[in-house]
Each structure stands twice: as structure tokens, then as C-alpha cells.
Structure 1
Amino acid sequence: MPIPGNLLGSTTEMVDPNTSGWAALANCAISLGSGGRNGPGTLRLTATAAGEMQARTAASYPVIGGTTYFAFADASSSTQPERIGIRWLSAGNAELGITWSLTTSAASSSWHRVSVAGPAPADAVQAQVLVSATAQAAGAVHYWDNLYLGLPIRYTGNLLGFNVESAEIDASGWEGETNATVSRVVPAVSWPVDFYLGGGHMAAATASVAGDMVMAAAERPVAEAGTEYLAYAYLAPPTSTADCWVELRWYDAADALIDTVRAYLDQPGTGLYRQIVSGTAPPGTVRAGMAAGIDSASAGQALFAEGVVMALTPEFQAGTVVPYADASFEQGVGSWEIVSGPGTIARSVWSSAAGDGTYYLVVTSATAAASVLRSGIWPLRTDGGGLSWRWQVWAQVASGAWDIARSVRWYDDEGTEVGVTTDTSGAAPTPGWWSLTNDAVAPAGATQAAIEYTLTATAASSTLWLDRVALWQALSLQTAEPLPDIGAIRLTLRELHVGQLISIWRVTPDGARVLVRGPSGLYDRVPIPADELIIEDYEAPLGTPVTYLVETYNAGTGALTERRHTDPVTLDPGDPNTCWLKDPANPQRNMRLVVQAGGGPDWTRPARAAEYVVRGRQNPVTVSDVRGGRVGDLQVWTRDDAEREALRLLLSSGAPLLWQTAPGFGVGQVYATVGDVTEARVSPYGREPWRGWTLPLTETDMPTATGVNGSAGRTWRDILTECATWQEVLDSYATWEDVLLDRRIGG
């Protein structure tokens, strides 16, 4: 499976079908091994003598001096640990140096991740990947697979820098704040083969003496008061009983600590576990920080941290007003409390079976009786009176049996209750997690709300799990809105099931269905990444009513789970003397152009036939094939320098384009490649800005493998994190479009 952004070719990355992407460098012979992770093949190194053996990529790859690059691989050996390096080369192919990873702490025959990152030397122009292990004797074997070289692969939206996130460069991303010495370690961790965010290095804080131990991130990104943030880290505790935690911190303009929020890890063992913490920045917040530690650590105990992220809190349900701490129970029971009855509540132990994150709320009742569970009061972000609202909880009966009645209490600005909405009680479904939802219209004056559950244990010693609590304004499940200024229809799909598969078709009045394009290609059984999808369909026809058909499928069985239809929507073509010329892969380049007289080309449809004259026969023998697509010259105007430069950019990729006209011109829309372009002046006056363009079009099929280029979730915060100065932005990107797409020079 190709790794996104990999400079290495697929044969080098996967070591399939051969080892041609690799060359022995020292003390080893290479061969094709079996049992790989990324395809069947592996790179098999066999030591020719005792000592260090090394292999390198057969090719060198272009790099930019000063830019940080990242390399990783999965390795396996029962006899020796290993390391990985990036070898920097000059324009004359001379070695300038090698950036090595630390050596794995122990040998492991299980596939495990090794990685390294570092800035290329100023005069480096090429790089190679090196893999290395030190053999005790000739014949020792080492296996490698799933190899990558490229720019760092980051967690989307992380406000912390790459070295804090991963410790791949050095240990400077973390500081020993209390009773801690910070270093780096490389344990043999078996990340999933396609989890490219998992690296080899981890930040390690070791307690100098017995007592509380704290390490803090060296960076404090900009934060905004009133905004909810989420942070997490993969922690490796020293024991199953160590009190390990992660913490969010808030700082004012004077860099004074205002407040903190902490979440303790309830680990089931000593492996690697993700712990999440969330909170809303208090008034006066200017920056945020992050820390991790152990309470009452023993001298010499160490805490490892990897995959450290601080970001705006994502919504697992779009529009929910429930704070993440109250919705997912990652750091405790939040604002929830039992207001009546014998029930008790607690956060669960760490569990991979949680509905969201790794914890859930555990409700227990020793007797068969009713208990009332109520949340804190949450602002609705708007005057909710008269609006329809929907609330949800995931529930699982762990033992015994339960009846559940689900309610919302509505409050005004003063916190006075203005109404309550309650459904009828019903038995909690079982087995497994069930999503339970209700709808209601909020009463007049409602600006705040609290959720309440009346939980009746119908058997003694009953236990109920709750997770993924949400309350949001109920909007249409699907809407289609024309956007004539950009030549697109915006399709919004809500309340989708993350992890299922989705297909989306555009349907024209004649019943023809065409798949809609998304980031990875056409929406043809694509995994659903979020509960709300917003899709801008730039290939919708002009002036023709269309509907959208949406189907979702179970990811495991492929069975159809839901079918939706939108109402018809028509995209206004605007001035009939203009047309749209669009790049399906880069809609930011699309533009509207004035068509010269005639409205379009005089089409030619070339024949595909050959005639053979047979001696002694009156008529020739003809060998023919289907007639070719349309060929003709489209003539358009650009009216100023901006339009001229925009058209040049649109044509620069050489990829197939989409030409669209208003109905009535006999064209509709045509996918075409553009041949040699003529850009003609229309006047002998040198300052005349108009140009007449002749675009030779050859009709093609709609490109199906091309996705819409973009960087989901990319914001200015990401750029601020990646680049310390504007000069670094200018040095890293050639155009603003490259900034948007995170397409770096040499990347």
C-alpha cells in the first residue's frame, strides 16, 4: 500500500516484487524475503561477518537544504536491534553526513517501527535512506519493510511542533520540570502497518528521586479564551499501578500560569496507551501548554510519551453543545451526578471498547430501583426557543437489565428552568453499544439545557455503560445549495456513521447517474471520515436540475445501510456569452471566460479506419474502429492581466479539463485535453490587456482516479506551527496555492 507523500518508489517502499530499490553498503548481502507487512516481500539483510551491516536505497532523492525530512521503516530480527538513518549528499554526490536514529532498545522478531528525522544540511541536494544493524556473527539476518522518506507526517491540526509531537529529531521538545531528567528511547513498538503517525522515538522522563515527577512541552502555542481544546499523548507507564497523567495548561500575556486541567491514565498494564484531556481556555488565556508526569514516582521510574497532540476539540457530532469532558468521559465523570436514587457513577478503566476515546461512564445500582442522572447546564450557542434539537447517548447493558427514560431540561439566561422534554421509558437494548436519540422543540426563552436520564435497574447488581453524549440543533440530513459564483453545488450530509462506506451520485433528469468527486477520487464506497460531510460539486452541469443520491454501506459486510435523496437543485449558468473552464483536481483554478463569436468549436470527429487496396479487387478492404471523440478549437477572451495569468495557471498542469456552457449551445459539458495554445493580441496597441486564446480541445473520458487536491483541516495555525517566520514560508512554498495544499518546494 503506497505511503502518502513517500519520495521512495513503490518497489523501494514495499520491496515488491524485488529488491531493485536497494543496494548493500557494508558487510551484508541483500535478498528478497517473505512474510512482509506492506505486501509479501521484505528486504532481507544477511551479515557476511560480525560487525555492522548496512544497506541503502539504490537511488538518491532530491531534498532542500534546511528542510526537515522524516524516514521510517518496520523491522524484525530476533538477534540484534537496529537503527535507521538519512544520508545527505551534495550536488557532486559526496556524503555530507548521516542523521541516525537511536538504536532500538532490544531486538524483537515482531515487526516494530524505527524512525528518524532531521534537517537537511544547507548544501544537501539529495538523500538516501540507510538501514543498519550490528551482527554478532556472519549469517545473522535482519528484515525490513514499509519504508518511507519524505516530509514529516503530522497529526492534523496539531498546534505543537513535530519534535514535541514525536521526539524524532532530539529531546529538546520536552523539559524536565519537576524531579525529571528528559531523554529519548526507542522501544520495540508494533504500530499498525498503515499507522504512519506512529514513530520509533519517544520522549522519556525519568524520576531523579522518589516523589512527583513532571515533564513539560517546551512549546506554548497561541490559544484563545473561551475556546475548547483537546490534548492527548500515548503514554507508556513504568508499572500498571503508576499514577500517570497528561495536563492542559493556560497562560496569560505575562506567561503566568492561570489554570490547568489534568486527566489520569487508568492503564491495564505497561504497554502504550492514549490518554486524552480537554478543557475550555479561561478568560485571559493567551497561550496553552502541555505536561505529563507521575504522582509519587519511585526513583528511576520513567514515563514514555509519543504522539503528543494539542488541538481544537473535534466534534464527534457536528454542532453538539456538550463539552468533550461531559460527552466522552476521558478524564472523569465531568459535570454528571446522580441527583436521586441508589445509583453510583464512575469513569471506566482504560478500554479499547469505548464508544469514543478509551473510557466511558459506568452506572451501577446494587438494588432494583430508579436513579436520576443529570448533567451540568450547557449554553445552546443560540436562542434555542422554537428550534428542533436532537440528543443522543450510546448505551450498553453490562450486567442485569435497565429501563431508560431520556429527557432534556431547558433553562433561560438566568438559569431558570423554562421547560422539560421527556420521552417514555423503555428497556435498554442489548447486546453491545446502541445509539439512542430523541428530538424535541425547545420552549420559548431556552438558551441553556441539561440532559437527564432516569435509569431504572430492573434487576439487582445491574451495570450500565454510557458514552458519546451529544445535543445539537436538528437540521436537514441532506441539503444541496447552488453556488453560481464559483460554479458549484454544495452538498451537505449530516448525521453520517463514521467508519461506514459512502457512495454519492449526481442524477440528471434523464436518469443518468455520475459519481461525485471527493478528496481521494470518486465517492464510490469511500470510508466516512466524519459525521458531517460538506462536498462542493464543481462538475455539476449548468442550468440543468440535478438531484443527489447517497448510499451508505456496512464496512464489514458491504450491506446497504441507508439511502438518501436531495431535492432538485439547478446551478445558474449566468451570462450565456461566458463559459466555465475547470480543473477537476484543482477547483481553486477554475475560471469563467468570455467565449468568442460562435459559442464554441466547429467539431471534428476523426475516423479510425485504414484502407488496403487488394490486387485484382475493385474495392479496398477497410479495417475500422469506433470513431474518435470530438476535436475542435475553443476560442475565448481574457480581459485583463489577472484573467490571463489565471488561464495560464489553469492550463499549466496539462491535465484534462472540464468545459461547461449554458444550455442551448449544443455542448453542455465536455472533458478535454488542451493541445498547443495560441495567445494572440487583439490590437497593435501594446497596453491593450485583452487577449484572444485558441484552445485546441480533444474530448476525453471523465478522469476517475483524480481526487480534489486539498489538505483537510489545514489552517493558518498549522502554518504558524510549521514555519517560525514569513521568510521560512517563502523559502518553503513557491505559491500561495502550494501553502494551501502543503505542497513544499522539493516535496
Structure 2
Amino acid sequence: MPIPGNFLSESTSSMDPSISGWTSKLNCTLLMGTGGRVGDGCLTMRSVASGEMQCQTVSAYSVIAGTDYEAFADAAGGTVPERIGIRWMTIRNVEISISWSQTTAAASASWHRIAVTATAPAGAVRAQVLFSSTPAAGAVSSYLENVYLGLPIRTVGNLLTHGAEGHEQATNWPYVSAVNCSVSRTTPAVSWPTINYVGGGAVATMTVTANGDASFRCTEQPTVTPGQEYVASSHLNPPTSGSTAWLELRFYDAAHSQIQATRANLAPPGTNYYMQSVSDVAPPTAAYASVAFGLTGATAGQVLRTDTSAITIAPVLVTGSVVPYSDTSFEAGVGTWTVTSGVAVLARTSPWAPSIDAFYAMTVTSATATSSVIRSGRYPLPPGEDSFRSSMHLTVTAGGWTLTRGLRWYDAANVSLGVTSVAASPAPTPGWWHLIDDHVRPAGATQVAFEWTVAATTPASVMRFDVGSIWAALPTGEVEPDDSTGSVRVTFRELDLGEALTLWRVTPDGRRTLVRGTSGLLSGVTVTSTTMVIEDYEAPLGVPVYYYMEALAPGATLAENRTTSTVTISLADRNECWLKDPGNPQRNLRALVKAGPNWQRPIAQAEYRVRGRRNSVVLSDARGGLEGGLAVWTRSDEEREALHWLLDSGNVLLWQAMPGMGVSDMYVNVGGVDEARVTPYAPEPWREWQLPLREADMPTTVGVAGSAGRTWQDVLTENSTWEDVLLKYATWEDVFLNRPIEG
């Protein structure tokens, strides 16, 4: 699978099917190796003699001076450690400088990540990727594959810069010692999954000075919004034993004074790198946030390493849920959950055990076969909704349980208004179960809490909870036509993450057509959010349509299906038509038709005149699609510019007219365009356009352009000022699609 945003071709990156994208630069020969991770092939760099050897990409790739770029690869070599670099060059391919990564701390025969991030220097127009190692003899080999060069790949929505997240950038590295330690950048040989493009390379390394607690912190303090829940996360590599590693989310006021800190301890199953997160709501006076790391009860010389640190807005696992992430995923502990009566004990799973979200769950343990009541904290409710739905994922790991699932309601003064619950029932087994209940909000209720009565049927019974949610019970499928954009908004709620979703548009004749999403037609796409909103810009005009969805769980053979109600898009003026770019709906235009096409259907034929025969022999290919000229008017300078913008790309367009106009919806290629004035009067804004159309097939791989993960926070993190944004991008569309100006 190609690495997103990679300047290198797939062959040059993966070494499959050849290593033709690489060439020797110094003291080495290059061979095609085997045993790669992203394919069988890998690059073998073998030394000719002792001393440094280097190889580089054959091609040089366009870069912009002053912009940060990242290069990484998976490397191996049991004899000698290695490093990766970016070679900066002028427009005449003259070397300006090389930005090298740190050399891996020790040689490793296992595949491990090497990486560097650097700013393209003044005058840099092109760049190459370099690979280097320094053997003590000839015939020593180093190996390389899964290579990337491009803009830094970051955690979506990370408030920290790439330098703070990935540690590959040596300049202005933002980590300092806080208590009883020294901090440095090191590059251990760490094996990361090939598709984890954020992790690897240099890490932050804390070395404890003397026995006792030790910690270090990030000096970056990005801005936050009071009342918003945030998550700090990082991969932690703890010492072997004798101390507890932790991660802390800190909030600061406008004077940069710390006002709140929330800590989560790591429960590692070993000594590898493990993701740990902690979440909390920014307090009322919060202006900034940061992250810190440490060891409790450390001994002198112990080492804690971290990588891929991030601060992001807390994810919403169930759209519309009022339950904060800390009480939903239990990554830092059991949150606000308590035992209000009985002998049950609540705890976070430790060490790691199977969970639904992330890496932890909450355990409920009862030493005796008795009943207990467990309750969460109170969560504020949105106004105007009366029906609510609660859900919890549960698995019984020992013994058995009888459950009475309920919600307790409170008014604004925190006075209880009672519990609504379902009848008691045995906890289902085996495996994880998703338990969902509906409740009606009592009058005056402004807050709600989970309240379950859990009765162990045998001593030493244990079960796990994860991803608890409460949300307003809205329809699971909705459709809404928008005549102003010629589209239908389709919304599906309460989807299950990880399922494969397929969505069709169905017309009155029963014909099904796949609907387009961000990556192409929605056929077997993985569900990544419990709510999916699709804007269908290719729905026909004036024709009632509905939508049929199937979702297939991993390993299942029968799919869940849903059907929406029927809607119709209308067009007020039948003399207008829509011209749409399926992949770029922001360019779609409604135009006034002057005259429809007179169609032709060309055919390729070869005629053979047979001597002595009256009729010739004609050999014909299949007759081609429709061809003809569409004449439209634009009625303002804005419409004229919009039509130019639509036509500039040369993409396949969708032409739509209302039923009864003698044409059907048609995908077309537009040939050479004529734009003519309708009068000799210069200020007249009207223009007459002749659009030569040629019928085309529906684009199947084109996705709706945009970045599902790109946010304004990413733009803010990547650019210091709005002037930087204006200089970096030509249009706002380029900002949205992250397409900086080249050269």
C-alpha cells in the first residue's frame, strides 16, 4: 500500500519489483534483497571497502525552501548501525547541504525505523533521500525498504508541532528536565508496524539522576478552549521494574502558570513501547496545555523513553454522547465510577487485557455472590430532547452476573429524580456484548448517570466494561435534499466501528447505483465513526430516490441493512441544468441552458471495395457514445469565473437536467470551449458558452476531494501567521487539500 503523501514512487519506496529508483553514491554496490516487510523485496547496500557507504534516490523531488520535510525508512543490519538523510539541492542539482538523522544507537538485524525531519534551506528546490552506514570492512550489508519523503506525517489534530511529536527534528527540540533527571534525543533500534507512519526514529530519553521520583516536560504550550475535553497521549518505554511510568496532561492560565494536572499511570505488559493516554476537561481559566512524563519510585540510572506525543481534542466514540472520554474508555482509571453499595470493586484492567477502545477497560469484581450498585458521575444533558439511549460493552471473564441496567436522573440542584431501568437479566456470555437500552427523560432532569445493580451469581465473579455512552435517541437513518446544491445529505447513526459499509442510491425502477465517498464509491469501506454523513451530489433531479445501506461485521457472512425514506431534488427553473465535478463538488455550477445538443454517435469503420461487386464490405467497431454541443449562458462575472474554475481541471463532469427535457443524466468529457459575448456592449455580464460534450463512463475511483482528518488546528500548528498561510498556498482549496505552492 503506498504511503500517503509520499513523493517517492511505490517501487522506489517498497523496492518491489526492482531497486531501479536507487543508485550508489559512495563505496557501495546495490543489490535486490529479499525478506522485506511491505513486499518481498528490499534494498541491499553492500560496502566495497571499509568506511562510510551511501546510496541515494535516482530522482530528485521538488521542495520549497523554508518548509519542513520528513524522510523515514525501515532499516536492518546486524553488523553496523545506519542513518537516513535529506540532500538539499539547487535548481541546477548542486548540493547545498545534507540533513542527517541521528545514527541508530546500535546495529540491529531486526527491521527498525530511522527518520529525520528538517527545514529546506534557502535556495533548495530539489531533494533526494540518502541512506548511510559505516562498516569496518568490505562486503558488509545494510538493508532498506518502506521509504518516505514528503511533508511530515502527524497525528490528526495534534496541537503539538511535529518536532514535539516525532523528535526527528534536532533544532528547537522542546523537551527539558523537570525533576531529578537528564533528557536527550536518542535513536534506539525500535521496530514499528510498517503502516505506523507517525512513530519511529529519534525518541525523548529521560535518565534518572538519583533514587526517587523523576520527570520531564514539553515546553510547547498550545492554546486550548475552557470546557473542551482534551487527550494527551504518547508511547512510553518503561524501565524493566521497580518504578511506575506515567503521563500527565497539564493546563495553564493566560500567565502560563500551571492550574491543573491529570495523570495516568502506565500498566505495561513488558518493556516495549506502549501507548498511554490521559484526558480531562480544560478548566474555566485554562489558556494553554502541555504534556509531561515521569517515573514514580525510580532508581538512579533508570531510563524512560517516549515517542509520538500528542495533545488532541478528545475523540467522540459515540456521536452525541454526553459521557466524557475519561468515563468512556477508562484509559487513565475508572473515571467517576464508584460503588454506592455492596462489595464490588472497580479497577482499571492491569496489565493490558482485551478491550473495545484503545488499551484499557474497567473491571468489576465481586468476592461474594451478592448484589452491588455501581454508579458513574453526573453528565449534563442537552436541552430539548426527551428520549435517550444508553449503551455499554461488557464481557464476563469469571463467574456469572445478573444485571439491572439503568440511568439515574438529576435536576439542576443535583437532586435525584429517580432511576429508569430495564428488567433484570443474566449477563450474556461468552465474549464481548453491546448492551443498549432506551430511556425517557423525566421532567426537570438536566443531568444523568449510569446506575447498574450487578449481582454476582458465584463468588469471585469478574466482568469488564468499556465504551459506555448516553446520547439523544435520534433516527438511525435520515435523508435531506438540498435544492440549492443539487444534493442529498444522507446520515446514518449508531454504526459499529470496523464494519464494512456499502451504500446504494435506488431509483423508482429499482436500479441501484453506488454512492460516492471521500475515497471513491462506497463499497465495503471501513466504518471509522458511529455517525456517517454523506453528501450525494450525483442524485438525479426531479426523481424520487431512497438509499439502501449494508454493513458487514468482520468475519460475518450476513450484513445488517437499513433503508431510508424517499426524497426528491427539485430545480425551480427547468431551463437550468447542473454541471458537476464528481470529485470536487465545491466547483459545481447551475447554468442556464440556451440549447441542448444535437447528438451524434460516431463509429470506427473500415470499408473494402471488392472488385466486380456493387456493395463494399464494411467492418465496424462498436458504435461510440453520444457526442454533441451544449450551449449555456452565464449571467454574471461570478458565474463566468465559476464555470472557468469547473472546466479548468479537465475532469469528467456530470451533466444533469430535469426530467422531460429530452436528456438523461450523463457523465461527459468537455472539449475545446468557446466563450462569446451576447452583445457588443462591454459591461454586459452575460456570456454564451459552447461546450462540446462527449459521453463518458462514471468515474469509479474518484473520491470527493477533501481531507477527512485535516482541521484548522492543523493549519494553526503548521503555520505561525496568516501571512505564512497566504505565501504557502495559492487558494483556500489548496489550504483545505494541503497542496502548497511548488517551486
Where on the TM-score scale, by shorter chain, does this alignment land: which range? over 0.9
Contact 1:84 1:129 in 2 (8 A): yes
The letter for the 1-side match of 2:152 is P
2:742 is paired with a residue of what secondary structure?
Answer: coil
Confirm or deny: 8 A CA contact 2:397 2:463 kept in the other structure: yes
Deviation at 1:225, TM superposition (A): 0.8
* Structure 1 Cα separation of the partners of residues 531 and 327 of structure 2: 21
**Alpha-carbon distance, 1:622 to partner:** 1.4
- Matched residues in 1 for 2:304 and 2:58: separation? 39
Q: Which residue in the other structure is 1:139 paired with?
A: 139
CA drift of 1:403 comes to: 1.4
1:197-233 residue CA offsets vs partner (Å, 9 max, x unmatched)? 2231212222333333222222111111111111111
Query: Counterparts of 1:475-554 in structure 2 under 5 Å?
Result: 475-554=474-553
Deviation at 1:383, TM superposition (A): 4.5
Residue type of the partner of 1:486? T
Distance of 1:352 and 1:146 partners within structure 2: 31
Q: Deviations over 1:264-301 (max 9, x none)?
A: 11112211011111011111111122211122332332
Equivalent residue number for residue 162 of structure 2: 162
The match for 2:650 is 654
- SS of residue paired to 1:311: strand
Taking the aligned partners of 2:229 and 2:288, their CA distance within structure 1 comes to: 13
Question: Given the superposition, is the C-alpha separation of residues 566 and 322 from structure 1 closer, same or farther in structure 2, using an over 3 Å criterion?
Answer: same
8 Å contact kept, 1:240–1:269: no
CA distance in 2, matches of 1:7, 1:266: 39
- Structure 2: distance between partners of 1:219 and 1:485: 45
Q: Structure 1 length normalisation: TM-score? A: 0.97
Other-structure match for 1:124 = 124
- CA deviations 1:521-556 (Å, max 9, x no partner) are 111111111111111011111111111110111334
User: Following TM superposition, by how much is the alpha carbon of 1:472 offset from its aligned partner in structure 2, in angstroms?
Assistant: 0.7
Compared CA separation, residues 11 and 361, structure 1 to 2 (3 A): same
Q: 1:633 aligns with which of 605, 617, 629?
A: 629
Q: 1:180 to 1:639 in 2, by over 3 A?
A: farther
Secondary structure of the 1:717 match is helix
User: Which residue is 2:216 aligned to?
Assistant: 215
Amino acid across the alignment from 2:155: Y
Residues 170-319 of structure 1 aligned to structure 2 (within 5 Å): 170=170, 172-319=173-320
Looking at structure 2, the residues matched to 345 and 60 of structure 1 have their Cα atoms a distance apart, in angstroms, of: 58
Are 2:19 and 1:19 equivalent residues in the alignment? yes
Letter in structure 2 aligned against 1:11: S
The size of the alignment, in residue pairs, is 742
C-alpha deviation, 1:32, in angstroms: 1.1
Q: 1:729 aligns with which of 717, 725, 728?
A: 725
Q: 1:671-716 CA distances to partner (integer Å, 9 max, x unpaired)?
A: 1111111111222222222221111111100000111111113222
Shift, 1:180, TM fit: 3.2
Answering whether residue 698 of structure 2 is matched by residue 697 of structure 1, we say no
Q: Are residue 413 (structure 1) and residue 412 (structure 2) matched?
A: yes
Asked if the contact 1:383/1:445 (under 8 Å) is kept, the reply is: no
Paired residue for 1:426? 425
Q: 1:452–1:241: structure 2 CA closer, same or farther, 3 Å change rule?
A: farther
SS where residue 122 of structure 1 aligns?
coil
| SS across alignment from 1:541 | coil
Counterpart Cα distance in 2 of 1:679 and 1:350: 70
Letter in 2 for 1:337: T
Which of 579, 583, 586 is the aligned partner of 2:584?
586
Question: Does residue 612 of structure 1 match 2:608?
Answer: yes
The 2-side partners of 1:158 and 1:604 are apart by 55
Q: CA deviation at 1:350?
A: 4.1
Secondary structure at 1:115 match in 2 = strand
Counterpart selection for 1:565 from 548, 563, 566? 563
Alignment-mate amino acid for residue 723 of structure 1: N
Superposition pairs of residues 280-429 of structure 1, within 5 angstroms: 280-351=281-352, 353-384=354-385, 387-429=386-428
Q: Distance in 2 between matches of 1:25 and 1:482?
A: 60
Q: Which amino acid aligns with 1:398?
A: T
Contact 2:498 2:554 in 1 (8 A): yes
| C-alpha distance after superposition, 1:646-666 (max 9, x if no partner) | 111111111101111111112
The Cα of 1:641 is off from its aligned counterpart by 2.0
The alignment partner of 1:135 has SS state of: coil
Structure 1 partner of 2:617:
621
CA distance in 2, matches of 1:579, 1:462: 67
Aligned equivalents of 1:287, 1:169: Cα separation in 2: 23
Q: Displacement, 1:631?
A: 0.9
Q: Which position in structure 2 is the counterpart of 1:103?
A: 103
Amino acid at match of 1:694: Q
Q: Would you say 1:644 and 2:635 are equivalent positions?
A: no
Letter in 2 for 1:456: A
Q: Which amino acid letter does the alignment assign opposite residue 568 of structure 1? A: T
Partner of residue 65, structure 1 = 65
- Deviation string 1:155-213 (CA, Å, 9 cap, x unpaired) is 11111111111111126122222233221111222211122122312122223333332
> Which stretch shows the higher mean deviation, 209-218 or 278-287?
209-218
Moved more, 650-659 or 191-200: 191-200
By how many angstroms is 1:723 displaced?
0.2
Q: For residue 662 of structure 1, give the secondary structure of its aligned residue in structure 2.
A: coil
C-alpha distance in 2 between matches for 1:315 and 1:342: 32
Counterpart pick for 1:667 among 663, 669, 685: 663
Q: What percentage of aligned pairs have identical amino acids?
A: 51
2: distance between equivalents of 1:469 and 1:550?
26
* Paired residues of 1:631 and 1:698 also in contact (CA < 8 A): yes
Alpha-carbon offset, residue 620 of structure 1: 1.4
The CA deviation string for residues 97-117 of structure 1, in whole angstroms up to 9 with x for no partner, is 111111112222222111111
Pairwise CA distance, 1:352? 5.6
Alignment partners' CA distance in 2, 1:176 and 1:614? 94
Deviates more, 1:202-211 or 1:478-487: 202-211
Residue range with higher mean Cα deviation, 71-80 or 536-545? 71-80
SS in 1 for 2:639: helix
Does the aligned pair in 2 maintain the 1:368–1:458 contact within 8 Å?
yes
| Equivalent AA in structure 1 for residue 262 of structure 2 | V
Cα distance in 2 for residues equivalent to 1:319 and 1:86: 45
The CA distance in 2 between the partners of 1:677 and 1:117, in whole Å, is: 45
Contact kept, 8 Å, 2:224 with 2:289, in 1: the verdict is: yes
Partner Cα separation in structure 2 for residue 692 and residue 350 of structure 1: 72
- The range that moved more, 75-84 or 681-690, is 681-690
Contact 1:88–1:120, Cα closer than 8 Å, also in 2: yes
* Secondary structure at 1:429 match in 2: coil
Structure 2 unaligned runs (5+)? none
Alignment deviations for residues 305-363 of structure 1 (CA, whole Å, 9 cap, x no partner): 11111111111111111111111111111111111111111111142622212111111
| Contact residue 340 and residue 373 of structure 2 kept, 8 A | yes
Measured in 1, the distance between the counterparts of 2:558 and 2:739 equals: 37
Asked if 1 retains the 8 angstrom alpha-carbon contact of 2:242 and 2:298, the reply is no
Cα displacement (A) at 1:381? 2.4
Instruction: Please give the per-residue CA displacement for 1:590-622, whole angstroms capped at 9, x wherever unaligned.
Output: 1111112x3x21111112322221223322111
**1:55-104 superposed Cα distances (whole Å, 9 cap, x missing partner):** 10011111111110111111122222111110011111111111111111
Name the amino acid aligned to 2:349. Answer: S
